[in-house]
Amino acid sequence: MPEPLRLFQPTSIEEAVAVLAELGDDAKVVAGATALTLLYRQRLIAPGALVSIGRIPGLKTIEVVDGELRLGALVSHREVELSPVVRESIPVVADAFGKVANVRVRNAATVGGVMAESDYASDPPAVFVALDAVVDVQGSNGKRSIPASAFFVAFYETALEHDEIVIGVRVPVPPAGTGAVYHKFVTRSSEDRPCVGVAGVVRLHADGTVADLRVAVGAAAETPQRFWDTEALAIGKPLDADLIAQVADAYADQVDTLDDMRGSAWYRTEMVRVWVRRAIESAAAAAAPAR
C-alpha cells in the first residue's frame, strides 16, 4: 500500500502554523482546493500532508474597518462577488472576483488561496496590487503584513515563509470619486483565464487633471505588473487621449510579456497597450459619472 496522504484539520492558526513548521515543504495548505486538486491530479505536486484550514474560525470576515475593506482568507470568490459590503465599498473587487472561471469554481476558491497560489493568470491579484492592498500573514514568528505588490514574487512563488499562511487581505477604500475597473481579456472561452487582465484606478481633480492614477497588469508576466514611475508622470496632467496613450505605451514597453497558449509575447504586448488604455478610459469614466 502506498504511503497515505496525511490530512490535518487544525482549529486555530497557531495549530496550523505548528504543523507547517514541523513538516516543512512536505505539507501543503489547502482551503477551497480548486488549484491544489488540478496540480495534484496532474502529479505536478506530491505532498505528504495536507493542512486543511477550513475549520479555523475567524477567517471568513467581510467588513470595512478604519477605511479598509477586510477580507478573511476563507471567504470564497462567490462571497466576495455577491457581498453588499464589498459592492458598496470597492465594487471593482467584487467585479474581479466575479469574473473568475465559473460559478462552481467561485463557490469553492478562496481569497487566501488565490493569493498563496500566485498563479500568474489569476484575476484578483492585479486588482489588489492596483488598490495598494496589504496581505496579512501569520507564522511561527507571529504576524506580519506584506504589500500585495511585494507578495507575488514569481510563478507560484510568494513572499510567504513555509510556515506562514495568509489570514486575510486588507484593501484601502479609495477616496470618493475614484473610478476603478478591472478588464479581463480572454482569447478563448469566457471561462478561460485571462490573456491579460488590467486593473485601472483613476481620480481626477475638478479641472480634469489627474489626482491619482494606478494601473496593474495581470496574466501578462510572472507577477502583476505595476510601474509607479509611469503612473507618477500622469499626476497633475489633463487626462486626454495623448496622456492615456503614453501610459499605455509605457506599460507595453515595460512589461516583459510571456508566451502561452492564450497568446504570444508579441500579442500580449499589444494587448497590454490596448487594455491599459481601455482600463484608464473606463476608470476615468467611472470617476466622473456626473458631468
Partner 1 sequence: MDSHPSFAPSGTQMQVPGMLDANLRVRGRVEYAMDAKLPGMIHAKLLRSPHAHARLVSIDASRARALPGVIAVITGPDLANRDDIYPYYGPIFRDQSVLVMDKARFVGDPVAAVAAIDLDTAQAALDLIDVEWEELEPVLSLDDALAAGSIVHDEPPRLGQTFADIIVRTEANSNICNHFKLRKGNIEDGFAQADHVFEDVFTSPPVQHVPMETHNCVAWWENGVLRLISATQMPFSVRAQLAEIFKVPQTRVRITVPTLGGGYGAKTYAKVEPVTAVLAQVTGRPVRLHLTREEEFVTITKHGMQIRMKTGVTRDGKIVARHSTCYFNTGAYADIGPRLIKNGGFGTGGPHKIDNVWVDSYAVYTNLAPAGAFRGYGVSQAAWAYESQMDMIADRLGWDPYEFRMKNLLNEGEPVMTGEPMYDAHFKDLLATAAERIGWDANVKAVRHGNKVRGKGLSVIIKASVTPSTSSASVKLNEDGSLQILSSAVEMGQGAETTLSVLGGEVLDLRLDQVSITHPDTDFTPYDQGTSSSRNTYSMGTAVKMAVEDIKQQLFRLASDDLEVAIGDLEVFRGRVQVKGVPERSVGYGDLVRKARAGNLLATAVYASNGGLDPETGQGIGSVHWHQAAGAAEVEVDLDTGRIEVLKYHAGVYAGRIANPAQAELQTEGNIAFGLGQALYEEMIYDGGQLQNGNLADYMIVSIEDMPRQISLDVLERHESHDIHGIGETSLPPCMPAVGNAVFRATGVRILDLPITPEKVLRGLRANARPQAHVQEIDA
Closest contact distance (angstroms) between CB of 88 and partner 1 is 27
Q: CA angle, 226 as apex, 288 and 60 as ends, to 5°?
A: 80
Q: Which of 68, 132, 161, 192 binds partner 1 (CB under 8 A)?
A: 192
Binding of partner 1 at residue 1 (CB under 8 A)?
A: yes
Binding of partner 1 at residue 191 (CB under 8 A)?
A: yes
Nearer to partner 1 among residue 52 and residue 187 (C-beta): 187
Smallest Cα–Cα separation from 240: which of 200, 274, 210, 215?
A: 210
Look at residue 156 and give its three-state secondary structure.
Answer: coil
Q: Which of 40, 156, 227, 267 binds partner 1 (CB under 8 A)?
A: 267
Nearer to partner 1 among residue 178 and residue 269 (C-beta): 269
Q: What is the C-alpha separation between 263 and 167, in angstroms, rounded?
A: 34
Checking 78-84 for CB contacts under 8 A at 24+ apart, the result is 78/103, 78/106, 78/107, 80/111, 81/106
Helix axes 265-287, 241-254, angle to 10 degrees: 140
Residues 79-118 that bind partner 1 (CB under 8 A): 102
171 within 8 A of 68, measured Cβ to Cβ: yes
Q: What is the C-alpha separation between 99 and 121, in angstroms, rounded?
A: 12
Binding of partner 1 at residue 280 (CB under 8 A)?
A: no
Binding of partner 1 at residue 263 (CB under 8 A)?
A: yes
Nearer to partner 1 among residue 89 and residue 257 (C-beta): 257
Residue bearing cell 472561452: 189
Q: Lay out the site mask for partner 1 across 5-44 (x = CB under 8 A, - = otherwise).
A: ---------------------------------x--xx--
Q: Which of 61, 140, 187, 254 binds partner 1 (CB under 8 A)?
A: 187
- Please give the residue ranges that form the binding site for partner 1 (CB under 8 A): 1-2, 4, 38, 41-42, 102, 185, 187-192, 261, 263-264, 267, 270-271, 274
